[in-house]
Amino acid sequence: MAQFILRRLFFLIPVLIGILFVTFALARLIPGDPCAAMLGERYTPEKCVNFRIIYGLDDPLPVQFLRYLAQVFQGNLGNSIRTGRSVTDIISERLPMTVELTIGAMLFATSVGVLFGIISAVRHNTSIDAATMIGANIGVSMPVFWIGLMLAYVFALVLRDTPFFIPPSGRLTAGLSMTPLLQEWNLQDANGLVAFVVGLISNSVILHSLISGKLHILKDGLWHLILPSLAVGTIPLAIIARLTRSSLLDVLHQDYIRTARAKGLPSRWVLFRHALRSALVPIVTIIGLQIGSLLSGAVLTETVFALPGIGTQLVTAIEGRDYPIVQGFTIVVAVVFASVNILVDLSYAYLDPRIRVQ
């Protein structure tokens, strides 16, 4: 097993360099430059001469790439061109939001998806089955931004003066705030990894409010997370529902289940004791696989809900050609994505020893 893990990690290295290369190339090949993006209508070529020299934008691209590579391997992702702030700082501000949203969506998609799948499998080939599956398929077929706006409209406006009102955007109700943990723990001078990790915790509304025991903020934070989680989770929900159904059907037709039924065990017992248990293996796997698409869903949905995550910043940075942010953020997303994939592979290997042998 250890050898297997090592081999997987070893193969990650070329992939990581590939990611760096692709990210860099894409960022630079996009026409337009950060200077023009910042100036907008006021752009004239003369205004940008100095700017391009300072940022080395006129150097040959391979030179720029090697310079960037050297920087990254020193753990330095550079500073934002637009604001001059360190990209690492910005990541520690933005990543927690996206992760919280991804987890929220995951919980929603899994719980409802598995439930739908079970219902559909138990009532196999009935109208309920067809309706659930068509419902699930409708879920996969809707554009995400569309779901987002519709949800916001219903819960924020139509239900405005009812207890079901849910805020349409933002992370916390205006006016609520918490002291950054770096300040609270007197760590202002910390830098490097400590500052980054504490920053991550501090910027996660859920963790931070739990640590400092501010339950009203926790509640508010969760409340603001509902609509975006529903929007992001709908598509994975449908996928999970479909898979739960098919793997449960698979199991239900196997001999030992038939035997259990033949023995006269109550069918609900059979379902939960035996069938669901073995059906869970592929379900768990697919949930792992969905984290990736959840992540990109989160990135796209943040804009609709004006949430301070990776996605909103990435969109702004792409529009502004803020290369260090675009590169840094894409790398973070890709690394998280690739790590999840590896974890999934590992879980395969763990669940199915045959794969290791190959």
**In the window 174-233, what residues touch other proteins (CB under 8 A)?**
174-175, 177
Tell me whether residue 46 or residue 264 sits nearer to other proteins (CB atom): 46
Output b/e per residue, 172-184; b: 16+ Cβ within 10 A. beeeeebeebbee
Residue 79 forms beta bridges with which residues?
86
Taking the CA of residue 255 as centre, how many other CA atoms within 13 Å lie in the half-sphere pointing to its CB? 0
Tell me whether residue 266 or residue 319 sits nearer to other proteins (CB atom): 319
Residue 86 forms beta bridges with which residues?
79
Tell me whether residue 221 or residue 260 sits nearer to other proteins (CB atom): 221
Distance in angstroms (rounded) separating the CA atoms of residues 170 and 156: 12
Alpha-helical (H) ranges within the chain are: 2-29, 34-39, 45-54, 61-73, 87-122, 127-141, 144-152, 181-184, 192-203, 205-211, 215-252, 255-262, 267-269, 276-305, 310-320, 323-351, 353-357
CB of 124 to other proteins, least distance (A): 11
Tell me whether residue 115 or residue 172 sits nearer to other proteins (CB atom): 172
Distance in angstroms (rounded) separating the CA atoms of residues 144 and 13: 33
Stretch that binds other proteins, among 68-76, 105-113, 169-177, 260-268 (CB under 8 A): 169-177
Distance in angstroms (rounded) separating the CA atoms of residues 117 and 119: 6
Sign for the pseudo-dihedral over CA of 257, 260, 264, 267 = negative
**Other Cβ atoms within 10 Å of 123 Cβ, number:** 14
CB of 299 to other proteins, least distance (A): 7
Using CB under 8 A as the binding rule, the residues of this chain from 96 to 115 that contact other proteins are 97
Tell me whether residue 38 or residue 115 sits nearer to other proteins (CB atom): 38
Phi, psi angle pair for 288, to nearest 5° = -60, -45
For position 163 contacting other proteins by CB under 8 A, the verdict is no
**Judged by CB under 8 A, which of 1, 6, 9, 11 binds other proteins?**
11
Using CB under 8 A as the binding rule, the residues of this chain from 45 to 74 that contact other proteins are 45-48, 50-51, 53-56, 58-65
**Judged by CB under 8 A, which of 109, 121, 152, 271 binds other proteins?**
152
**Judged by CB under 8 A, which of 2, 73, 74, 160 binds other proteins?**
160
Tell which phi-psi region holds residue 170, choosing left (phi > 0), alpha (psi between -120 and 50) or beta: left
- SS3 call for 220: helix
CB of 107 to other proteins, least distance (A): 18
Q: What is the DSSP letter of 178?
A: -
CB of 328 to other proteins, least distance (A): 14
Tell me whether residue 93 or residue 108 sits nearer to other proteins (CB atom): 93
Using CB under 8 A as the binding rule, the residues of this chain from 324 to 353 that contact other proteins are 330, 333-334, 337-338, 341, 344-345, 348-349, 352
CB of 91 to other proteins, least distance (A): 11
For position 273 contacting other proteins by CB under 8 A, the verdict is no
**Judged by CB under 8 A, which of 204, 242, 270, 301 binds other proteins?**
242
Distance in angstroms (rounded) separating the CA atoms of residues 96 and 200: 6
Stretch that binds other proteins, among 69-77, 100-108, 225-233, 281-289 (CB under 8 A): 281-289
Tell me whether residue 14 or residue 163 sits nearer to other proteins (CB atom): 14
